[in-house]
Amino acid sequence: EDPSTLPERPPIVTIMGHVDHGKTTMLDWLRRSSVAAQEHGGITQHIGAFSVKLSSGKQITFLDTPGHAAFLTMRQRGANVTDIVILVVAADDSVKPQTLEALKHARAANVPIIVAINKIDKDEARVDQVKADLARHGVEIEDYGGDVQVACVSGKTGEGMDSLEENILTLSEILDVRADPGGLAEGWVLESSVKSQGRSASVLVKRGTMRKGDIVAAGTAWAKIRTLRNEAGMEVDEAPPGMPVEVLGWRELPDAGDEVLQAPNEARVREAINYRIELKSHEKAASEQE
Ligand code: GTP
Ligand code: NA
Ligand code: MG
Residues in the chain: 290
CA distances from 85 to 81, 135, 246, 280, 286 (A): 11, 17, 23, 33, 38
Task: Kindly report the pTM of this predicted structure.
Answer: 0.92
Helix axes 23-32, 161-175, angle to 10 degrees: 90
How remote is the CA of residue 259 from the centroid of ligand 2, in Å? 30
Residue 76 pLDDT level (bands cut at 50, 70, 90): low
Task: Determine contact, residues 223/189, Cβ cutoff 8 Å.
Answer: no
ipTM score over 0.85, yes or no: yes
Q: What is the pLDDT of residues 247-260, one digit of tens each?
A: 999 999 999 889 99
CA separation for the pair 185, 205 (Å, rounded): 7
For ligand 1, which residues put their CB under 6 angstroms from it?
19-25, 118-119, 121-122, 154-156
pLDDT confidence of residue 215: 97
Q: Across residues 223-233, what is the average pLDDT?
A: 95
Spatial CA neighbour of 190 closest among 273, 84, 79, 53: 79
How remote is the CA of residue 81 from the centroid of ligand 2, in Å? 24
Of ligand 1's listed atoms, the one at least distance from the Cα of 98 is 4
**Rounded mean pLDDT of the chain?**
91
Task: Determine contact, residues 87/23, Cβ cutoff 8 Å.
Answer: no
Does 172 score more than 90 pLDDT?
A: yes
Ligand nearest to the CA of 16: 1
How remote is the CA of residue 290 from the centroid of ligand 3, in Å? 41
pLDDT confidence of residue 1: 64
Of ligand 1's listed atoms, the one at least distance from the Cα of 155 is 27
Q: Render the burial of 213-229: b for 16+ CB within 10 Å, e for the rest.
A: ebbbbbbbbbbebeebb
